[in-house]
Amino acid sequence: MPRTMFGRDGEGEFQILLDRRSALDIGAFVVDGVDISPGTAIPSDGDQRIDHALRGFLFTCGPDHIRHPEPVEGFKDGRRFPLHGSLCGTPVRRTEMSAPDEPPRCRAETEVPLANGGTALVSRRWAISTDESQVLLSDRVTNTGAKPFAPMLMYHVNIGGRMLGDETYIAGTMFGDDRWPWRFGDGESAHFCLPAAPTAIDGWAQVSLGPFEALSGRTLIVRFSTATLPFLQMWRCQRGPADVISIEPVSHRIAKRTDLAAAGEMPMLAPGETVDYTLAFQIR
């Protein structure tokens, strides 16, 4: 059974369904009875973990790799990092919900076997703000293995394209005064990655997508700490039955692992060390 949390956006109610099968990611984000997640309108990469996760509103790449498979450094047996890293599809070890008379929150711990043979612990905390309008996510990754690894993380915030219309735009701190159409780029699928840290306000970047025709003109706003998520990536796919757009705060620019390492952009996390990531979203 999923864990469920409730809130309000000023005009109505929402609920998030947390998926215990997949690191306590969000399986559904239901606003006034409408789930804005893409559901089955997604492309398949042939990885059942990702097919399951991509149907939901939020899933997490990492903590050892993001994006498509690449060779694992230091091994000559041909092993590769799995698509989007090792966390996705890993069941949580335990969860703890707040009491009914307390502000809504949920804690979880997930032990992750890493592709290089090490291990990591993802300590996750979901919370609803005191005014019940904003969902807050705090993640801490701890290296519980015996050797260092380079942490990487990307959050996929997935929205069904059926929710959007011709007047739906992307805006945010990294775009300045510009607004981009949600069908950016050319063809059936497109993506981009922009630095978010230089234009962050008090260390936080913000991106919005809206208005949503299916939600009476409301807009989705995603905020994230650029201390460890200094880039914004976005992706869309309208190919065949697929109709999805994704807002993706991410720790690294688009480049091969070898190129990132050569540029000094793959700092190592020693055994026992931790790194934190923070994200928030709301409908308004």
User: What tens digit of pLDDT does each residue of 197-210 get?
Assistant: 999 999 999 999 99
Q: Full-prediction pTM beyond 0.85?
A: yes
Phi, psi of 281, rounded to the nearest 5 degrees: -150, 160
pLDDT of residue 111: 97
Q: Report residue 197 CA to chain centroid gap.
A: 17
* Architecture field, domain 3-283: Distorted Sandwich (2.70)
> Closest Cα partner for 93 from 116, 123, 72, 65?
123
Helix (H, G, I), strand (E, B) or coil at 261: helix
Q: Which tops the pLDDT comparison, 96 or 172? A: 172
Mean pLDDT of 75-103: 89
Task: Check: CB of residue 167 under 8 Å from CB of residue 211.
Answer: yes
pLDDT of residue 97: 85
pLDDT 10s digits, 187-196: 999 999 999 9
**Separation CA 250–CA 247 (nearest Å):** 10
Pairing mode, strands 25-31 and 244-250: unpaired
pLDDT at 99 over 90: no
Task: Check: CB of residue 13 under 8 Å from CB of residue 6.
Answer: yes
Query: CB neighbours (10 Å) of residue 223?
Result: 21
Name the percent of the chain lying above pLDDT 70.
Answer: 96
| H/E segment holding residue 260 | helix 257-262
Task: Check: CB of residue 218 under 8 Å from CB of residue 11.
Answer: yes
> Closest Cα partner for 236 from 275, 169, 193, 182?
182
pLDDT of residue 267: 97
Mean pLDDT of 57-64: 97
Helices (H) and strands (E) in the chain, counts: 2, 18
The full set of domain ranges for the chain reads 3-283
Task: Check: CB of residue 224 under 8 Å from CB of residue 216.
Answer: no
Mean pLDDT of 2-29: 80
Q: Which tops the pLDDT comparison, 227 or 47? A: 227
pLDDT of residue 1: 42
Residue with tokens 């949920």: 106
pLDDT 10s digits, 239-273: 999 999 999 999 999 999 999 999 999 999 999 99
Residue with tokens 């559904």: 28
Residues present in the chain in total: 284
**Separation CA 168–CA 101 (nearest Å):** 38
pLDDT of residue 93: 84
Q: How does the average pLDDT of the chain come out, rounded?
A: 93
